A = this chain, B = another copy of it.
Amino acid sequence: MLETSLHKRRGLNIAILAGLSFVFLNEVPVSQGVWPMPQKISQSSQRYPLSPEEFTFQYAKDSAAQPGCSVLDAAFRRYFTLIFPGYSAPSASTIRVVPFTLMVKVHAGGCEEFPDADSVERYSLGVYAGQGVLTAETVWGALRGLESFSQLVYQDEYDAYYVNKTEIVDFPRFPFRGILLDTSRHFLPVEVILKTLDAMAYSKFNVFHWHIVDDPSFPYQSLSFPDLSEKGAFHTATHVYTQADVQRVIAHARMWGIRVLPEFDTPGHTQSWGKGQPDLLTPCYRGPVPSGTFGPVNPTVNSTYQFITRLFKEINAVFPDSYIHLGGDEVNFFCWKSNPQVQAFMTKMGFGSDYTKLESFYMENIMNITAALNKTSVVWQDVFDYHERIPRNTVLHIWKGTTAQYRQELSRMTEAGYRVLLAAPWYLNHISYGQDWKNAYTVQPLNFTGTEEQKKLVIGGEVCMWGEYVDATNLTPRLWPRASAAAERLWSDEEQTSSVSEACPRLAEFRCRLLRRGIQAEPLYVGYCKHEFQAL
């Protein structure tokens, strides 16, 4: 798959290299390669020095993307800094100036589009003397290849930059590789989200699942319903995401080839919604009188669906992704059961005393609303567990249970023909003492009873970082590099990456690279990085 008609300036480079004795030293550190592991990679011990002064990115002549391509133009600027950490300006004393061009070619344009569920991320990369060649079907694939290239570059003890002769053919095992951040239990400043997007791209994650609202707070500043955040946010001035903030997140994510999947979880997990939308939640009753507390969204009144329709119309306009996450988890029936209007509705609809039918009724209506907006609905597994009539193109999201339980759920869901996302083994907000990244690493997402066709319905997985005990102070060290362990499981070939002991030094080196890039990633075990995190 590699370009063969390269303009290799090998003669030039060899002439330059010949004068440099340190090229032949073998004691210097070499790159441990790329994290997550590419599908195919061959590396030679032959290495080439790189000079920031003479390093250039270039669009191939026959590339569909050319200068002016917003995604790649910006990526070239970013990756120059990532490839040459610590480099600021040409030094007058630089003696080794070695030209190197990384030639980039994409088959399709789409430079102004957003990444989406069908984006093709495969790429191939060849690194030779004086030149690298990166080929991809799309700009999103080119971004993945740029990340890999940046990880091939390393520095020796004198801080000189090198890259080894390398050939890579790479593509993701799963198309959906997500991270969930919860901005309701604690507010996360936009800068923290942007920094997390950067780190996600370094591990080739491609979906930011934004669990933006929940019981404790409603920080999303809605255009249609400004009272939701005005009254439901922790603080209306400092703890909200304005429309500009949201667009900033989406634009930043796009530049890394990361989708933004918003979740507006209903009918449960909506206490904060009730503050700004008075008739939305179900009034709970104590005997014959309202108790003053509220339960889930009231599924028995038209005003609820009018509200959701209008809100989702806005969300559809604000978030470009073709997916929307509808939640649907952990609905407590206690309040519905207490409410006489709800009871009457149950009777009228013939639901008897089966409140899962009421929940089902609600979710069906909501899914119809999103279907009318041409959005693909994602719902937590509860909706499948309790209901029958789920539209076939819904994506089901597994979050519960032991390994045996989520494997059974994978079987059942895929047997029923649904596409599935696996989050259950990657609740990385949960912590324990020691090297718990190994748990995230040794997950086998396709190790369940089912046909090959069923396995194909597993579209990916997700690391969840729920916010009960997490905010801007501890998010990053709790997430990284533990999430990177999951990232390799979701991107790489499982057989090639089955050994924890082989992963360990690679992940340790990758973690040092994260530090070098300003990501506050915690250590795996005793040891050091040449460039420690500069905390202050």
Contact = CB atoms under 8 A, between A and B. Distances in A.
A187 B528 contact: yes
A238 interface: yes
Interface in A81-114: none
A530 B187 CA distance: 11
A486 interface: no
Contact of A186 (B195, B434, B477, B526): B526
Contact of A477 (B238, B239, B474): B474
B472 A532 contact: yes
Contact of A520 (B429, B473, B525, B528): B473
Interface in A409-439: 429-435
Contact of A471 (B235, B239, B468, B532): B532
Contacts of A430: 433
Interface string A493-536: 00000000000000000000001000011111111101011111
A142 interface: no
A189 interface: yes
Contact of A523 (B238, B473, B476, B522): B473
A432 B431 contact: yes
Given A187-B532, A431-B432, A526 B473 contact: no
Contact of A528 (B239, B521, B523, B525): B239
A473 B515 contact: yes
B216 A527 contact: yes
B535 A186 contact: no
A28 interface: no
A225 to B, nearest CB: 21
A164 interface: no
A186 B474 contact: no
A526 B191 contact: no
A363 interface: no
Contact of A468 (B192, B216, B526): B526
Contact of A533 (B195, B432, B471, B534): B471
Interface string A466-485: 01111111101100000000
B433 A526 contact: no
B527 A469 contact: no
A195 B515 CA distance: 20
Contacts of A534: 189
A185 interface: yes
A331 to B, nearest CB: 20
Contacts of A435: 469
A524 to B, nearest CB: 8
B191 A528 contact: no
Q: Please list the 10 inter-chain residue pairs (A to B) with the smallest Cβ-Cβ separation, ordered nearest first.
A: A474-B477, A234-B528, A474-B522, A191-B536, A185-B526, A473-B520, A472-B535, A473-B533, A430-B433, A473-B522
